[in-house]
Structure 1
Amino acid sequence: MITPHHQPTPITPRRTKTRASIPTEVEGKGELFIPAHCSSSSSSSWFGHCFVPRKEMVVIDQHVLWTFFASLFGFVLLYTLRRNNNSNGNKIKTKKMTFPKECAKESFPDGECRPVNGSGTDVIIVGAGVAGSALAYTLGKDGRRVHVIERDLTEPDRIVGELLQPGGYLKLIELGLEDCLEEIDAQRVLGYALFKDGKNARLSYPLEKFDSDVAGRSFHNGRFIQRMREKAATLSNVQLEQGTVTSLLEENGVVRGVQYKSKDGQLHKAYAPLTVVCDGCFSNLRRTLCNPKVEMPSCFVGLVLLNCQLPFANHGHVILADPSPILFYPISSTEVRCLVDVPGQKLPSVANGEMASHLKTVVAPQIPSELHDAFISAVDKGNIRTMPNRSMPADPHPTPGALLMGDAFNMRHPLTGGGMTVALSDIVVLRDLLKPLRNLNDAASLSKYLESFYTLRKPMASTINTLAGALYKVFSASPDPARKEMRQACFDYLSLGGIFSTGPMALLSGLNPRPLSLFLHFFAVAIYGVGRLLLPYPSPTRMWIGARLISGASGIIFPIIKAEGVRHMFLPATVPAYYRARAPPHQV
């Protein structure tokens, strides 16, 4: 017996085609047979004792080739059989999830449901504001049968929702709705101008890498919404109806549809596999779908200035006034919107003239001289309107058959004008999630799948939400020396230009939805403020203020980040729901 440690002179095997001398298939098993004397794991033993002649190699190649084709054929056959079985199973599930029989009828006179084209509804949308109208058109364009129920289909007249950031305009293009900004006298917005203590800083959006038409837009909110409603109504599979939704219809924990009062006051029920609630900041349906923690830090007092020129054309203007910011931006070629922020929920009375007096004596002296006369004139006209500013982090209760969107789901302070950008971004995310699905009938699977929506929306939503909340607190006046330094540091930091202005502006505009970048810029402002305090010679008082500045900055941003969700903001890939978007529910 020869051991592997004593290698003999290689012996040339006989050129025979015996089945024992080469690897062959075991009959009936499809396995390769290797001679016992060639089964050693030692490479030297194999090559030393088992040389395979060329003709026999051809036989091996043929075996390998046929084995590959047989395996491939078997895989295809098994996959086809499995798919057919799954299809049958899904058909059974679909039968279990069907809606009341009356909803399959072409007409149902007592208003139990209002099918589109006599074939049922895929999605019910509650509310036809910016989010509801855009979603209706988007889903309708994708072939969904959509039923929109809106409380009032006449043109809205609001003092907010009038500025769309460039990031939102890009989302509008993605949805095919950019033409809704035409013929409403919308104005291009190229950036912001900051004013503080007689100084100003011009901050432009970083638009160099985009087409020339990409910019912000400001307009009358009602005109924009009406254009989107009209465009959605052009689709035959989208039905807009005026009515007030009173409740969601639930069955065994699954939302099946809505109950609503039509324009004539009659009570109706409508059914669909998915109900999307977009009924705005005053939503009466959100409580069952989320944990609403609504805060009202301030109110806006709105005016319209006529035929006046802004100091910086095509720019929004932010005056860092006392006690809180004042905004100016164009809403048409002849009108400028003014929004005066009043902290708290208690406002001077408009009816008895207290508000007019407050605007003239407290606010007017702080606005730029170019706008002073037009401002006083607008106050004298008396068309003063108010709107509470609400903030509410997104804290959903995933519910089969229903979804929240728009201001009903998530709000932030309107100082940065980011609400519509977040809403349109959410619609793009939802559209992309629903696109692979042929039907929405399996409520449980759909709800599980759509949990990824809450994570995928976070980059844009959390960046804009956090920035809005943080900037409002930084820009508001305070008697605290540390807060004063933070406010001044922010103004000076943005005035530096370069990355110090384009970075924050890219975040504010929705062009760079990166929470980490926001976090770094925010603390860069704080460190910049501390550096200003300590140079050229630090003193104990200045060091103490600097320490309190850092502490105050942390106290501003960390609660906002906590409310948004640290994990969802900075580590979305660690959230299990993040990966569900890659595996849509299997469908027939």
Structure 2
Amino acid sequence: MWKTHYDVLIVGGGVAGCSLAYALSSSSPLASSSSRPAKPLRIAVLERSLAEPDRIVGELLQPGGVAALTSIGMASCLEGIGAVKVKGYCVVKAGENVHIPYPDGREGSAFHHGRFIQSLRAKAKEGEGVEMIEATVNELIECPFSGRVLGVEATRSISSEASEAEKEKAKEKESFFADIVVVADGCFSNFRTSVMGKGAIKPTVRSHFVGIVVKDAKLPYDNHGTVCLVKGNGPVLLYSIEEHDTRMLIDITAPLPSDLKEYIWSKIVPQLPPSLHTPIHNALQNDRLRRMPNSWLPAAPQGTSHTKEGVILLGDSWNMRHPLTGGGMTVAFNDVAILGRLLKEVAALGWSAEGRGGSEGGGLGDWENVKWALDKWWWERKGMAATINILSVALYDLFGAEDECLEVLRAGCFKYFERGGECVRGPVSLLSGIAPSPVLLFNHFFAVAFYSIWCMFTHPQPYTVAGSEKVLYKVPRLDQYPMLVIKSFQVFWTACIVFGPLLWTEVRW
């Protein structure tokens, strides 16, 4: 069945899909008046279910993400949903904690994911030219000659109160056509492989976040995310998402224990601050545990000979990082702000003699014009995306230390934060998306590595007395230095093999 032709079709009405729909509308402040299309773009968002989603991630937006959301014109989406201001972090290790505030009074936001999504959808509907359609996309429609994606086939959702005739009609696949199709269907994308072709990279799952809502929990610092480093397990993350609700996320590697609640209560909770024990016990008794894979998916260039024409991947369908740092939505909104501006410029200007190629007046319908935008987007997004992607996995490797050298780096990282000043301001500016600089990240990461080695020589180190389980601390003796020198090289090499491959995945293209 043929439908009205759209300028842009967006598959997925989540974080990336809704924000891009609004960013491309003439209601958004993106792009100057001279580079906006002469008439509003016609945009359709196809979402399988417009009911409020229920997820345990996508609940923390860093200050850099708030800034990107504001640039799109959607800052109001954080209002009226019970969102909590986030002013920084606290890292807890063995009963000690270090305060890591955001610099210059910057603030992030935390909230129930479903409420935020519904707010984004409501705002997207306000965008001029935006249509929200509840339908399940079944497949991409391709030109039989060129292979270019022309649109999608989808099945509309229908109310249970509909007549039998309406239900039968709804079962028919419906065709939607557009100049450009944007696939933003999340981490479990059905179209990632077909879009990327030979360039497709499969997501890597290293662990799962197990989540629960804790009522009336008292965290070490109000309005701060709390990262608890526990032995024998990945980090535990806690942050308020409403006045009385605190999200607790526990990183657990595969295979997952058969009895998760018992595992959390016996192995994890005893290592957390005592003030949290009773609220967590109540939550384990009254709430259900949910889990989400922590996936790592490096981005790959689009608009190349290996990818399909007429279609773009966006959000978690294309690029994922470990959610420990809460940077996913920050990257997504930054991507949308850049891509939305560039696509508006292409729609407004079409072809010019500035090296874009294509045919004059082609606009979004000419793939050469869109390729120009994709290439420019790829390089403009690099600073933010690379910084947050690398940092998320590097911190996870350090905080989830599983061997002796990583433990040295983890202890050194904690002591590095205790120094305060730039040792706190720099790392938290990177984590929060305020200072998106891979060079600054490199400097601080290896500053932590060298400081960890220094601490290994000069700070009291743990040891156990034979026949006793008691842990004591003592500064190393001079006769221990030769072995420590050897261990120093091992620690530095460990830092290199943690950071090096992550850096390579971001700069190799």
- Could you state the TM-score of these two structures normalised by the residue count of structure 1? 0.73
Three-state SS of the structure 2 residue aligned to 1:272 is: strand
1:527 aligns with 2:432: no
Flag structure 2 segments of 5+ consecutive residues without an equivalent.
29-39, 158-169, 349-362, 459-475
* Contact 1:127 1:277 survives alignment (8 Å): yes
1:372 aligns with 2:277: yes
State the partner residue of 2:472. none
Letter of the structure 2 residue corresponding to residue 310 of structure 1? L
1:218 aligns with 2:98: no
* Contact 1:401 1:447 survives alignment (8 Å): no
Give the Å deviation of 1:188. 0.3
State the partner residue of 1:447. 371
State the partner residue of 1:177. 74
Give the Å deviation of 1:530. 1.3
State the partner residue of 1:485. 408
Letter of the structure 1 residue corresponding to residue 80 of structure 2? E
State the partner residue of 2:241. 331
Looking at structure 1, the residues matched to 327 and 392 of structure 2 have their Cα atoms a distance apart, in angstroms, of 8
Looking at structure 2, the residues matched to 124 and 181 of structure 1 have their Cα atoms a distance apart, in angstroms, of 25
1:161 aligns with 2:55: no
Give the direction of change, closer, same or farther, for the CA distance of 1:449–1:188 in structure 2 (3 Å limit): closer
Looking at structure 2, the residues matched to 328 and 265 of structure 1 have their Cα atoms a distance apart, in angstroms, of 43
State the partner residue of 1:435. 344
* Contact 1:275 1:403 survives alignment (8 Å): yes
Offset from partner CA, 1:119-168 (integer Å, 9 cap, x none) = x3110000010110111111123632101000111011100000000000
Give the Å deviation of 1:397. 4.3
Looking at structure 1, the residues matched to 490 and 208 of structure 2 have their Cα atoms a distance apart, in angstroms, of 29
Offset from partner CA, 1:312-364 (integer Å, 9 cap, x none) = 100000001121100100010110000011012x2123xxxx11110110011
2:185 maps to which of 279, 302, 313: 279
1:247 maps to which of 139, 158, 169: 139
Letter of the structure 1 residue corresponding to residue 316 of structure 2? D
1:305 aligns with 2:214: yes
Letter of the structure 2 residue corresponding to residue 348 of structure 1? P
Give the Å deviation of 1:423. 0.2
Three-state SS of the structure 2 residue aligned to 1:289 is: helix
* Contact 1:318 1:328 survives alignment (8 Å): yes
Give the Å deviation of 1:266. 2.1
Looking at structure 2, the residues matched to 448 and 431 of structure 1 have their Cα atoms a distance apart, in angstroms, of 13
Looking at structure 1, the residues matched to 118 and 301 of structure 2 have their Cα atoms a distance apart, in angstroms, of 29
* Contact 1:481 1:545 survives alignment (8 Å): no
State the partner residue of 2:104. 207
* Contact 2:228 2:272 survives alignment (8 Å): yes
Give the Å deviation of 1:533. 2.3
1:231 aligns with 2:101: no
State the partner residue of 2:496. 554
Looking at structure 2, the residues matched to 324 and 303 of structure 1 have their Cα atoms a distance apart, in angstroms, of 16
Identity %: 41
1:294 aligns with 2:203: yes
State the partner residue of 2:359. none
Looking at structure 1, the residues matched to 329 and 398 of structure 2 have their Cα atoms a distance apart, in angstroms, of 23
Looking at structure 2, the residues matched to 490 and 543 of structure 1 have their Cα atoms a distance apart, in angstroms, of 19
Give the Å deviation of 1:391. 0.9
2:395 maps to which of 463, 471, 482: 471
Give the Å deviation of 1:441. 1.3
1:503 aligns with 2:417: no
State the partner residue of 1:62. none
Give the Å deviation of 1:307. 1.9
Flag structure 1 segments of 5+ consecutive residues without an equivalent.
1-110, 209-213, 569-588
Three-state SS of the structure 2 residue aligned to 1:523 is: helix
State the partner residue of 2:156. 262
Greater RCO (Cα-Cα under 8 Å, separation 6 or more): 2
Give the Å deviation of 1:179. 0.6
Three-state SS of the structure 2 residue aligned to 1:500 is: helix
State the partner residue of 2:484. 542
State the partner residue of 1:112. 2
- Could you state the TM-score of these two structures normalised by the residue count of structure 2? 0.84
Which structure has the larger Rg?
1
Three-state SS of the structure 2 residue aligned to 1:390 is: strand
State the partner residue of 1:577. none
Give the direction of change, closer, same or farther, for the CA distance of 1:449–1:310 in structure 2 (3 Å limit): closer
* Contact 2:15 2:117 survives alignment (8 Å): yes
* Contact 1:400 1:444 survives alignment (8 Å): no
Structure 1: 4+ residue segments shifted above 4 A: none
Letter of the structure 2 residue corresponding to residue 443 of structure 1? W
Three-state SS of the structure 1 residue aligned to 2:488 is: helix
Give the Å deviation of 1:236. 4.4
1:123 aligns with 2:32: no
State the partner residue of 1:414. 323
Letter of the structure 2 residue corresponding to residue 380 of structure 1? Q
* Contact 1:171 1:421 survives alignment (8 Å): yes
Three-state SS of the structure 1 residue aligned to 2:176 is: strand
Letter of the structure 1 residue corresponding to residue 150 of structure 2? R
Offset from partner CA, 1:547-580 (integer Å, 9 cap, x none) = 11100000001111111125x6xxxxxxxxxxxx
In the comparison of the two structures, how many residue pairs are matched?
441
Q: Comparing 263-272 with 315-324, which one deviates more in the overlay?
A: 263-272
Give the Å deviation of 1:382. 4.1
Looking at structure 1, the residues matched to 142 and 131 of structure 2 have their Cα atoms a distance apart, in angstroms, of 23
* Contact 2:212 2:249 survives alignment (8 Å): yes
* Contact 1:254 1:443 survives alignment (8 Å): no
* Contact 1:533 1:543 survives alignment (8 Å): no
2:290 maps to which of 368, 379, 385: 385
Letter of the structure 1 residue corresponding to residue 318 of structure 2? F
Q: What is the 5 A alignment of 1:27-106?
A: none
State the partner residue of 1:579. none
